[in-house]
Amino acid sequence: MAAEVIYGKQLAEQIRQEMKEEVATLSEAGIYPKLVVVIVGEDPASLSYVRGKQRASENIGMSSELMELPEDTSQTKLLDIITRLNEDESVHGILVQLPLPEQIMEQKVIESIDPSKDVDGFHPINIGRLMTGQETFYPCTPFGIVVMLKRANISIEGKHVVIIGRSNLVGKPVGQLLLNEHATVTYCHSRTKDLKDYTKKADILIVAAGKAGMISGEDITEGTVVIDVGVNRVDGKLTGDVDFDSASQKASHITPVPKGVGPMTITMLLHNTIKAAKWIHQ
């Protein structure tokens, strides 16, 4: 039977509409959530991402600022800018677009952001809070996946979730979030032997490996929920890590690429910025 397709794009639009109302209510109370996005250099893909983030903020009535810094910006200069943003009470969320040029140590930058403004959820303090099951800013793509599953009425408790990919941005945190939701979690990665033995046993399969079409219908069992986090360009066309045509013949639910997980990421960034603004004014 053909799978039900979960369109993150539609869901994201619905959630953004809800957030637009929340931003309007907050501004009546004198709270104006503000996001600052910092980008170093002119990588076209990164520029396109950050402009998308800025546009999405503006569309829900949220104040947003884009700081475009030259490719040769020093680490000291970037850290100075972050210190200023940390101290600026009108700024609630700070996002430094990754990757950064090689003269800048990414981890140093991540750790310089005030954890209460870390809307990416990348600061070790926020990761620690996630690990210990505390309320915090959750990384946007993993959080978007959990929200998608919940809004599609897919139960998580007791389910066997298999994750392919162990990145700090997606694989590791999505597993932790789902563990907190009482799933049984298995992590697989490039060194996993007999990958198919694991994917076949998944109730929910999350593929975040960055390898176009690596999972197809023959790797899953009937009724699996398939979440494709891959963003690959093949012959100029955006494609996921899952071969949609064959997998959708067996999956119960599947996310497409594009229009699947991607739009949820920005939506969760907006959610985190609103949360940051509300926390400060509590």
Contact 145, 229 (CB under 8 A): yes
Nearest approach in angstroms of CB 123 to ligand GUN is 11
Residue 99 CB, shortest distance to ligand GUN, in Å, is: 7
Taking the least distance from each CB to ligand GUN, the nearer of 207 and 220 is 207
Q: Which residues bind ligand GUN (CB under 6 A)?
A: 95-98, 120, 140
Structure tokens belonging to residue 195: 């990958």
Q: What's the min distance (Å) between Cβ of 256 and ligand GUN?
A: 19
Whole-angstrom CA distances from 45 to 52, 112, 180, 214, 254 are 11, 25, 33, 23, 26
CA distance 207 to 22: 33
**Per DSSP, what are the bridge partners of residue 162?**
186, 205
Positions marked active-site = 53, 97, 120
Which of residues 69 and 98 has its CB atom nearest to ligand GUN in the complex? 98
* Residue 40 labelled as part of a binding site: no
Would you say 167 is a known binding-site residue?
Answer: yes
**Eight-class DSSP state of 102:** T
Q: Which is nearer to ligand GUN, 95 or 146 (CB)?
A: 95
Rank residues 64 and 97 by Cβ distance to ligand GUN and give the closer one. Answer: 97
Position 76, amino acid: T
| Contacts of 115 by beta carbon, 8 Å cutoff, 6+ apart | 123, 125, 126
Token output for 69:
């810094």
How near is the Cβ of 208 to ligand GUN at its closest, in Å?
Answer: 12
Residue list for the binding site: 165-167, 231
Residue list for the binding site for NADP(+): 165-167, 231
